[in-house]
């Protein structure tokens, strides 16, 4: 019997960083990836918009692809909608993202941690609750990186460089000395796609924390039926420009993709 696929969705190409980790952890698993690029960016839209999109995509992935597990590969969608999706689909294992504040606080020697995330994530109740619960463990410097996810989405390299430089500079002094930020949380799945750029800007003494690997491990633990043989290229869908997703898969995953455009 064919193993049912795992559904993965993001507001656009950011979830490719999570899918990369998922395929490493579950190399024989079938995946369906949906980039909601026609309705992006989530991080700069209100919660009502993000919830509506998350519900529509979940219904589509269940009804058309009969997914066995859903990975919400978007920090903003997780923060805004995952509690509703779990209530509405109690029989479906759903894995979401959480900015890696806890491991960052544990890893930081200077007890000063930078957080790069979308405005939607930072303003969410879910994030604020997490932040407040860790307030006595580290000093968190929060930065809403307006425009950066969109620049990555459209692979606009000059704009990526300019915005990344602006947002990293806004964090303040980074390094290993007392009072400096020595750990930075990447609180949006788009940001790991530009790791070399961020490493160059932050310097070699700063540790970067992302969510892809922990999410992949949690997905393996929750997966009702994991495939054990064969290789299965993901099915690729977008509500935006198919050529953009194909180009992103080539650039960020070094793979080819046949992308179907959806009206959803």
Positions annotated as catalytic residues are 74, 188
- Of 236, 257, 256, 230, the closest CA to residue 1 belongs to 230
Chain center to CA of 207 = 18
Q: What are phi and psi of 12, to 5 degrees?
A: -175, -125
What b-and-e string marks burial along 36-70, b requiring 16 or more CB atoms within 10 Å of the CB? bbbbbbbbbbebeebeebbeebbebbbeebebbbb
From the number of C-beta atoms within 10 Å of its C-beta (0-12, 13-18, 19+), residue 24 rates as exposed
* Joined tokens for residue 231: 């290789």
Q: Which two tokens stand for residue 229?
A: 């043989």
- Structure tokens given for 119: 């405005």
Q: What kind and span of H or E run contains 143? A: strand 139-144
Contact predicate 195/223, CB 8 Å:
no
E strands, 151-258, where? 183-186, 207-209, 235-238
């Amino acid at each position: 019997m064919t193993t049912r696929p795992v559904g993965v969705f993001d507001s656009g190409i950011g979830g490719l960083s999570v899918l990369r980790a998922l395929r490493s952890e579950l190399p024989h698993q079938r995946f369906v990836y949906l980039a909601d690029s026609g309705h992006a960016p989530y991080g700069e839209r209100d919660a009502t918009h993000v919830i509506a999109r998350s519900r529509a995509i979940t219904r589509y992935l269940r009804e058309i692809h009969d997914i066995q597990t859903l990975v919400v590969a978007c920090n903003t969608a997780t923060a805004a909608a995952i509690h509703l999706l779990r209530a509405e689909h109690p029989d479906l294992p759903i894995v979401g993202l959480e900015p890696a504040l806890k491991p960052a606080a544990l890893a930081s020697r200077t007890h000063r941690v930078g957080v790069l995330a979308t405005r939607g994530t930072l303003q969410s109740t879910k994030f604020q609750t997490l932040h407040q619960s860790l307030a006595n463990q580290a000093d968190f410097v929060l930065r809403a990186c307006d425009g950066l996810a969109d620049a990555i989405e459209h692979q606009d390299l000059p704009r990526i460089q300019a915005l990344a430089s602006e947002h990293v500079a806004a964090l303040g002094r980074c390094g290993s000395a007392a009072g400096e930020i020595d750990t930075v949380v990447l609180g949006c799945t788009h940001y790991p796609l530009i790791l070399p750029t961020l490493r160059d800007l932050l310097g070699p003494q700063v540790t970067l924390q992302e969510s892809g690997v922990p999410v992949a491990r949690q997905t393996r633990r929750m997966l009702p039926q994991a495939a054990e043989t064969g290789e299965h290229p993901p099915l690729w869908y977008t509500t935006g420009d198919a050529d953009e997703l194909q180009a992103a898969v080539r650039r960020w995953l070094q793979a080819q993709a046949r992308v179907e455009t959806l009206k959803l």
